[in-house]
């Protein structure tokens, strides 16, 4: 393996300029980032989160009818720079397999709210997806004419068991969704605004892996362990890169190693993840999309009265789509072996008008 040497771009990204404000440079894109040593609160309140719905808001930034949010930060120049990261042509999937019932089961498509992947999802064994062969199996004898095998796939992807994209219509609060659209824009045909069709051309940008378990030299984080902006900056320093405007930010906690070793983890009650102050940090850096191997938020959130502040502020205020339940183990190993924590990320959501997201298979290419 070649020894890692920071690129000129990485070195420039660490350089400070007058006034202590660092500038992130990529393909002519300039994005102001916070001064070194900025302090972020670890005792946020419900009032703080309410204030952030305005202070961190991107409503109107890209026009009154914008429905893409921070994906707008992925410019043509950003895509060209991301494509240039492909050197070896090696791709790594970040998706779980479909969460199907066991063979022979009639488990329905809706998951229960308990259990964990591979350990059963409730008393009836219900899962997040079903697959049905709708034509007769061809049998052992060759046929003289071509035949077709037909199947049907159904999924209830929002939840803790499917790698999926949350579109900006996934959450509403006080009668509104991202960019001020009213909740009355929802009909029996789904989301009339902010549906997954805002990303119909696909997402193509630089991905950056924040391997926080590796940062802390553990296989996986504690069940309620919070990640703070200081952890993110410590990983940047260790991995010798800096998150830049338009990047896709992926956070590894080691969830799937924890499940393999210790068994079920109910993410509705306990999960390692980002503390709410990370939203300030992400807004300052210009994150385009956020993903993790959990559901982003540390659970409990450690902000009394607010269930999932990361989801609330990212989707409704900032317009930042989310990717829940990634499998980042293979990516973590590949990045560690290559000593490269940045890569081309591609995501191609299904074009389903009205959908509030969808199952996805994010791909990292080195």
Predicted local confidence at residue 122, as pLDDT: 39
Of 158, 182, 205, the one marking the end of a domain is 158
Is 291 in contact with 255 (CB distance < 8 Å)? no
Output the domain CATH number for residue 336: 3.50.30.50
Say whether both 151 and 286 belong to one domain. no
Say whether both 358 and 258 belong to one domain. yes
Give domain status of residue 7, yes or no: no
How far apart CA 153 and CA 100 sit, in angstroms, is 10
Burial (CB < 10 A; 0-12, 13-18, 19+), residue 8, is exposed
Say whether both 127 and 258 belong to one domain. no
Predicted local confidence at residue 217, as pLDDT: 98
Say whether both 207 and 70 belong to one domain. yes
Which two tokens mark 314?
A: 């990212």
Domain count, the chain: 2
Say whether both 153 and 263 belong to one domain. no
Predicted local confidence at residue 143, as pLDDT: 86
Say whether both 224 and 309 belong to one domain. yes
Say whether both 328 and 354 belong to one domain. yes
Say whether both 89 and 223 belong to one domain. yes
Predicted local confidence at residue 6, as pLDDT: 44
Query: Looking at residue 138, what DSSP letter applies?
Result: -
- Backbone φ, ψ for residue 213 (5° rounding): -65, -40
Give domain status of residue 215, yes or no: yes
Give domain status of residue 6, yes or no: no
Chain segment 247-275, per-residue pLDDT in tens: 999 999 999 999 999 998 899 999 999 99
Which two tokens mark 91?
A: 């791709």
The helix-helix angle for 229-239 and 278-285 (nearest 10°) equals 50
Cis peptide bond N-terminal to 63, omega within 30:
no
Say whether both 287 and 346 belong to one domain. yes
Nearest Cα residue to 205 out of 326, 117, 83, 100: 83
H or E segment and range at residue 152: strand 151-155
pTM of this prediction exceeds 0.95: no
Predicted local confidence at residue 128, as pLDDT: 84
- In the chain, which stretches have pLDDT less than 70? 1-37, 104-126
Chain segment 326-339, per-residue pLDDT in tens: 999 999 999 999 99
Say whether both 150 and 42 belong to one domain. no
Placement of tokens 């509705």 in the chain: 268
Chain segment 8-26, per-residue pLDDT in tens: 444 443 333 223 333 333 3
Is 161 in contact with 128 (CB distance < 8 Å)? yes
How far apart CA 315 and CA 334 sit, in angstroms, is 30
- Please give the residue range of the domain that contains residue 312: 38-96+163-365
Give domain status of residue 334, yes or no: yes
Which two tokens mark 202?
A: 């696909």
């Amino acid at each position: 393996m070649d020894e890692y040497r920071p690129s000129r771009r990485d070195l420039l990204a660490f350089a400070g300029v007058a006034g202590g404000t660092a500038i992130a440079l990529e393909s002519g894109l300039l994005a102001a980032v916070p001064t070194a040593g900025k302090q972020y609160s670890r005792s946020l309140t419900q009032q703080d989160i309410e204030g952030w719905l305005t202070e961190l808001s991107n409503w109107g930034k890209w026009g009154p009818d914008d429905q893409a949010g921070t994906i707008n930060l992925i410019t043509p120049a950003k895509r060209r720079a991301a494509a240039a990261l492909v050197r070896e042509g090696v791709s790594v999937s970040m998706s779980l397999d479909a969460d199907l019932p066991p063979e022979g089961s009639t488990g329905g498509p809706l998951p229960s709210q308990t259990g964990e992947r591979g350990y059963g999802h409730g008393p009836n064994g219900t899962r997040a997806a079903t697959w049905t062969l709708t034509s007769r199996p061809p049998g052992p004898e060759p046929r003289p004419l071509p035949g077709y095998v037909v199947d049907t796939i159904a999924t209830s992807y929002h939840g803790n068991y499917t790698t999926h994209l949350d579109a900006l219509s996934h959450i509403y609060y006080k009668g509104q969704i991202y960019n001020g659209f009213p909740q009355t824009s929802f009909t029996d045909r789904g989301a009339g605004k902010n549906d997954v069709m805002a990303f119909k051309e696909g997402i193509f940008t630089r991905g950056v892996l924040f391997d926080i378990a590796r940062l802390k030299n553990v296989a996986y984080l504690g069940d309620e362990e919070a990640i703070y902006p200081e952890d993110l900056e410590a990983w940047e320093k260790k991995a010798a890169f800096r998150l830049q405007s338009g990047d896709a930010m992926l956070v590894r906690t080691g969830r799937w190693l924890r499940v393999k070793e210790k068994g079920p983890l109910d993410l509705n009650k306990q999960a390692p993840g980002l503390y709410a102050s990370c939203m300030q940090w992400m807004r300052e850096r210009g994150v385009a999309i956020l993903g993790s191997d959990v559901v982003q938020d540390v659970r409990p959130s450690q902000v009394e009265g607010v269930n999932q502040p990361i989801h609330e502020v990212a989707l409704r205020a900032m317009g930042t789509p989310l990717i829940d339940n990634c499998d980042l183990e293979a990516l973590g190993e590949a990045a560690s072996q290559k000593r490269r924590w940045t890569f081309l990320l591609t995501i191609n959501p299904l074009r389903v008008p009205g959908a509030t997201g969808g199952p996805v298979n994010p791909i990292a290419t080195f």
